[in-house]
Amino acid sequence: MPLTLTAEGTRLQQEIKLGRVLLVEDEELIRETIALALTEEGYEVLTAEDGRKGLDLACRSGETSYPEGLAFDLIILDLMLPYVNGLDLCRLIRREGNSVPILILSAKGSETDRVVGLEVGADDYLTKPFGMRELVARCRALLRRHRHAQLQAQETALKFHDIVLYPQECRVTVRNEDINLSPKEFRILELFMSHPKRVWSREQLIERIWGPDFMGDSKTVDVHIRWLREKLEADPSRPEYLLTVRGFGYRFG
Ligand code: CA
């Protein structure tokens, strides 16, 4: 039956493309209706009937035996949930540094709820009762926006060996792990990575990073370079990225 095979193949392709959704909703009928609608659209849907289970699945911190690496492309949260409510759940997911798109569902329709929902880091808010087509359309739009943003971040990222700097997110990873940089350290590294191999004198760095009104001395630059080396280099005393060019200044790479 070639037709069935093709349809199944298309469906599998869609599932891979459309992504995995976590749905946290305590009302069984709504939960099942949404899960069915999204599954039919080609999403893989995992459900939780209370906030605790939702948190467990979203943050992979609890006792569930889901394989490591279970990540969601979209999370749908009901506001009123047993144990952990939707707003707290949203807050906790964001606190983990997870930027997955979150859609909040609520029986309440007040402006305040909507604002609070968006303030705790939700991306969109839908008031019950809603139609399944509306829900599916919102999910699709959220996923599209998120993928677009991810793609843009990837395109503008500056890479050098195992260091990646994402200018729009003010984020740096070293060997695939996020590192914490101060705003000055970030700007120095961004300047260096935008001009590989270029030698910068201390005065030029002060001018570019601290501005012409800076009253301190050039030792400030050395201190920041030392801090950066401690965060970037495998062995800060033998730097491989941030190199000293004797008599001139510093260069990257
Ligand atoms: Ca509820």
41 and 135 share one domain: yes
Determine, yes or no, domain membership for 2. no
Q: What is the tally of structural domains in the chain?
A: 2
The rounded Å distance from CA 130 to ligand 1 centre is 14
The rounded Å distance from CA 135 to ligand 1 centre is 16
The rounded Å distance from CA 220 to ligand 1 centre is 55
SS3 3: helix
Phi, psi of 130 (to 5 degrees): -135, 160
pLDDT at 251: 95
163 and 141 share one domain: no
The rounded Å distance from CA 49 to ligand 1 centre is 9
Residue 32's domain spans which residues? 7-154
Give ∠ CA 97-15-87 in degrees, rounded to 5: 35
99 and 35 share one domain: yes
pLDDT at 10: 52
The rounded Å distance from CA 107 to ligand 1 centre is 8
The rounded Å distance from CA 140 to ligand 1 centre is 23
120 and 44 share one domain: yes
Q: Look at residue 147 and tell me whether its pLDDT is greater than 70.
A: yes
The rounded Å distance from CA 159 to ligand 1 centre is 45
pLDDT at 130: 93
Question: Predicted confidence band at 116 (pLDDT cuts at 50, 70, 90)?
Answer: confident
Q: Look at residue 56 and tell me whether its pLDDT is greater than 80.
A: yes
The rounded Å distance from CA 22 to ligand 1 centre is 15
Task: Sort 89 into a burial class: Cβ within 10 Å, 0-12 / 13-18 / 19+.
Answer: buried
- Final residue in a domain of this structure, among 154, 179, 200: 154
- Final residue in a domain of this structure, among 122, 154, 186: 154
pLDDT at 67: 46
Determine, yes or no, domain membership for 179. yes
Cβ(86)–Cβ(24) below 8 Å: yes
Question: Predicted confidence band at 149 (pLDDT cuts at 50, 70, 90)?
Answer: confident
Torsion of Cα atoms, 27 then 33 then 38 then 39, to 10°: 110
pLDDT digits (tens, 9 = 90+) for 172-230: 999 888 999 999 999 999 999 999 999 999 999 999 999 888 888 889 999 999 999 99
Share of the chain above pLDDT 90, in %: 62
Q: Look at residue 17 and tell me whether its pLDDT is greater than 90.
A: no
Q: Look at residue 68 and tell me whether its pLDDT is greater than 80.
A: no
Whether this model's pTM surpasses 0.85: no
Determine, yes or no, domain membership for 208. yes
Q: Look at residue 23 and tell me whether its pLDDT is greater than 90.
A: yes
The rounded Å distance from CA 50 to ligand 1 centre is 9
The rounded Å distance from CA 199 to ligand 1 centre is 60
Question: Predicted confidence band at 60 (pLDDT cuts at 50, 70, 90)?
Answer: low
Averaged confidence pLDDT in the chain? 86
Q: What is the 3-state secondary structure (H, E, C) of 216-249?
A: CCCHHHHHHHHHHHHHHCCCCCCCCCEEEECCCE
Mean pLDDT of 49-58: 93
The domain that contains 73 carries what CATH number? 3.40.50.2300
pLDDT at 114: 78
Share of the chain above pLDDT 70, in %: 88
The rounded Å distance from CA 63 to ligand 1 centre is 24
**Alpha helix positions (H), the chain:** 2-18, 28-41, 51-59, 86-95, 111-119, 132-156, 183-194, 202-205, 219-232
